[in-house]
Amino acid sequence: MRVLDERLEKIKEEVVELHGIAKNSVELCIDALFGDENSAVKIDELERYSDILNTDIENEALGAVALFQPVARDLRFLATIMRISGNYERIVDYALKISRCRANRFREELEEIRKVLLEMFDILGSALQGDVESIADKLMTRDDMIDRKSRDIIDRLKGEEMTDETLCLIFSARFLERIGDILAKTGARILYIEKGRRVWIK
């Protein structure tokens, strides 16, 4: 195996790890929102580690470009993987913001959104291993579902007194919607790596 191939494989493994961290943070953030302090503490730890890992990935990718001057798919991989890594780090940031809120209502609706987001993570996890079959349609369908569910929560909260809980619920719904958008865009970037063409998903 070429030295560059070894470097690319290491970077890919780190991105897969960051993918898992982002997924875990989304899984935990709803529990934290509804008062699970252990989940809140865990997300705080995940957020700090995701910052470090994202920086490492960026530095290693830039170093590989400077050292090996890759072309074609290798260059496309390195240029795009930094954005994918940044996307996952942003998702953890949103999960952290949700975890710092507290609410007692809309748990069932928010858990439904979480379920769809976790499905999107699973689709992207397979895509990172090369399985990009119908990825655009799968992600777009689920992202549209999240948009509808998030906006329904926000619409139902309109007109209420803007208590801390109401604001937390509105912000949480919006953050979850943005996480869905980021996951859809991440899918488009994975397709670009694999196929060499840009695909609009979101």
**Residues 153-194 pLDDT 10s:** 999 999 889 999 999 999 999 999 999 999 999 999 999 998
| The two structure tokens encoding residue 115 | 């379920």
**Distance in angstroms (rounded) separating the CA atoms of residues 23 and 186:** 13
Q: List helix spans (H) across 34-134.
A: 37-68, 72-99, 107-128
Name the band, by pLDDT with cuts 50, 70 and 90, for residue 51.
very high
- Token pair of 195, please? 């196929």
User: Are 186 and 84 contacting, i.e. CB atoms less than 8 angstroms apart?
Assistant: yes
The proportion of the chain whose per-residue pLDDT surpasses 70, expressed as a percent, equals 99
Predicted confidence band of residue 202 (pLDDT cuts 50, 70, 90): low
CA-CA-CA-CA torsion sign (192, 196, 201, 202): positive
Count the neighbouring beta carbons within 10 Å of the beta carbon of residue 27. 18
pLDDT at 201 over 80: no
Residue 143's closest CA among 179, 171, 94? 179
- Work out the pLDDT band at 37, boundaries 50, 70, 90: very high
Structure tokens at 61: 């990718």
Per-residue pLDDT band for 197 (boundaries 50, 70, 90) equals: confident
If pLDDT is split at 50, 70 and 90, which confidence band does 16 have?
very high
CATH topology of domain 3-195: Methane Monooxygenase Hydroxylase; Chain G, domain 1 (1.20.58)
pLDDT score of 15 more than 90: yes
Note the pLDDT of residue 199.
77
How many other C-beta atoms can be found within 10 angstroms of the C-beta atom of residue 95?
Answer: 31
Per-residue pLDDT band at 24 (split at 50, 70, 90): very high
> Distance (Å, rounded) from C-alpha 26 to C-alpha 176?
9
Does residue 92 have a pLDDT over 60? yes
Return the closest-CA partner of residue 59 out of 102, 118, 10, 120. Answer: 10
